[in-house]
Amino acid sequence: MKKIIPILFILILVLVGFNEKEHILIPNDAIRFRIIANSNTKEDQNLKKIIKKDVENELFKIIKDVDNIEEARIKINNNLDKIDMIVNKYNVNYDIKYGNNYFPIKEYKGIKYNAGNYESLVITLGSGKGDNWWCVLFPPLCLLDEKENLNNYEYEFYAKELINKFINK
């Protein structure tokens, strides 16, 4: 019996060690994208989703052929007027900020996104008191969200590939 307790202890440590997941950390050279809804009413949340889709489609056109973060910055900055025109057509008060904005800690599909100020495009609708939607615009992890049926492992695999492709240039 005395031998079983140390063996069980070692076995538990080994199992916990294998279950510990290595998190992918998004590099500091990334650009995030966030839309904050006016409130959590169904209408405001639906409007956030509609605007998100419209803006996201335009952003993908803008950065689809971008190879590095400097080019992404220039293209986003040079096209903020297009983003403004898209949001403006929805007849809602809004604010668009591109620069360093605060993000709380997030974890999504095994990828850890630390809290802090990050380069980002943030669209705040109305009072901005509702739930938000966010993703990493560059490297283009937002595109992975659009792929349906990706399990956590596949998402992490593709995310690692994209991060390595763009950050190691």
> Which pLDDT belongs to residue 17?
44
Amino acid 105: pLDDT: 83
What pLDDT sits at residue 30? Answer: 85
- Give the tokens for residue 102: 């605060």
Cβ-in-10-Å burial (0-12, 13-18, 19+) of 100 comes to: exposed
- Read off the pLDDT of residues 120-139 as tens digits, 9 standing for 90 and up: 999 999 999 999 998 888 88
For residues 138 and 30, the answer to whether their CB atoms sit within 8 Å is yes
| Per-residue confidence (pLDDT) for residue 139, from 0 to 100 | 81
- Structure pTM? 0.74
Task: Identify the segments of the chain with pLDDT beneath 70.
Answer: 1-28, 108-110, 141, 143-169
pLDDT of residue 41: 98
For the chain, which residues make up each domain, given as ranges? 25-167
Got the DSSP string for the chain? -TTHHHHHHHHHHHHHHHHPPPPEEPPSS-EEEEEE-S-SSHHHHHHHHHHHHHHHHHHHHHHTT--SHHHHHHHHHHTHHHHHHHHHTT---EEEEEEEEEE--EEETTEEE--EEEEEEEEEETT--S-EEEEEEETTTHHHHHSTT--HHHHHHHHHHHHHHHHT-
Instruction: Quote the Cα angle for 132-33-112, to 5°.
Output: 80
Separation of CA 57 from chain center: 15
At residue 159, the pLDDT reads 56
Determine the pLDDT at residue 24: 54
pLDDT, tens digit (0-9, with 9 covering 90-100), for 1-28? 555 554 444 444 444 444 444 555 566 6
Q: What is the pLDDT of residue 112?
A: 74
Instruction: Give the pLDDT score at 52.
Output: 94
